[in-house]
Amino acid sequence: MPTDSRRLPAPDISYDAKLFTEIEKLNLLDDEEKRADGRYVTQPRDVFLQCGVITQAKGSAYFEMNKTKVICSVYGPKDIEMRDEFQINKGKLKCELKYAPYSSPKHGDHIPGASDVEKSDILLEAISSGVCLQRYPKSQIDVFVIVLEDDGSVLPAAITAASVALVDAGIEMYDVITASSIRIAGQDTFIIDPTSSEEFSPLNLEKSNDLNQGMVMVALLPSINQVSSIVSSGHLECNVLQEAIRSCRYSAQNLHSIVRKCLVNSLKKSNQNNSH
């Protein structure tokens, strides 16, 4: 691990104490087809969404799905910082997704690794389709997301939070972007909105020739029903993938009403404050 000269020296290697306990074998689904937190396979977690939480930022949003907590702030439009990225006809959108060091069971690195950069790129790709960048020529819009706690489905949370923050900032957009992810554990088992233990735990499959195991995430522009990003990982047969994408789209579509309600409430509140 390269030493970070701008931070206090820390030990090179440290281990999470819980690694040295006896690990209980977790089953994805119990006998009643319920998951570890009592949800059904098609049931997403309850969502808490609020915008305007960071007063210093132009726009901000806080998104919570039970234990997964994500906060996002938007700055801009402002002058482009790097001269070589200057574009006359449209603006530039920059996204940064960071994990807080205490957000995962193992203490995270301060220096962003490859997976952090990859997630920032996916976030950028998912949001870009929704923002009217041609309205902001020669300008830059910054989107910063910090994951405060990671309990699975971080990317969908980050994408939804980022789009709400962009609207809160008054950036012109075609539509909000909602996202949802799904865990596939066998061709018949689609687990919507997996928690972190569900994202990686294997399901005991009775049929050994069913190799479908993976994750799919879909980001959607709900009002116009257009998909802006699909990320899939793992081994998935073609029809299983298509079915998973369909389920994800449906789940992301359902998030639209929550997002709309949150934005309308925040607008009502700011109107009330202005009239006082």
Q: Whose Cβ is closer to another protein: residue 31's or residue 79's? A: 79
Span from 3-11, 31-39, 178-186, 217-225 in contact with another protein (CB under 8 A): 3-11
User: Of 37, 28, 139, 154, whose CA–CA distance to 103 is shortest?
Assistant: 154
16 touches another protein by CB under 8 A: yes
User: Of 172, 174, 163, 179, whose CA–CA distance to 263 is shortest?
Assistant: 163
Q: How far apart are CA 118 and CA 108, in angstroms?
A: 16
Q: How far apart are CA 126 and CA 51, in angstroms?
A: 20
Q: How far apart are CA 248 and CA 182, in angstroms?
A: 6
Selected binder of another protein within 29, 148, 203, 227 (CB under 8 A):
148
Rg of the chain over all Cα atoms, to the nearest angstrom: 20
Pairing of strands 92-99, 139-149: parallel
Residue numbers 204-233 binding another protein by CB under 8 A? none
15 touches another protein by CB under 8 A: yes
- Give the per-residue contact string, 31-70, with another protein (x = CB under 8 A; - = no): ----------------------xxxxx---------x-x-
183 beta partners: 191, 215
Span from 148-156, 183-191, 228-236, 260-268 in contact with another protein (CB under 8 A): 148-156
The residues binding another protein (CB under 8 A) are: 4, 6-11, 13-21, 53-57, 67, 69, 71-73, 75, 96, 98, 100-107, 110, 142, 144-146, 148-151
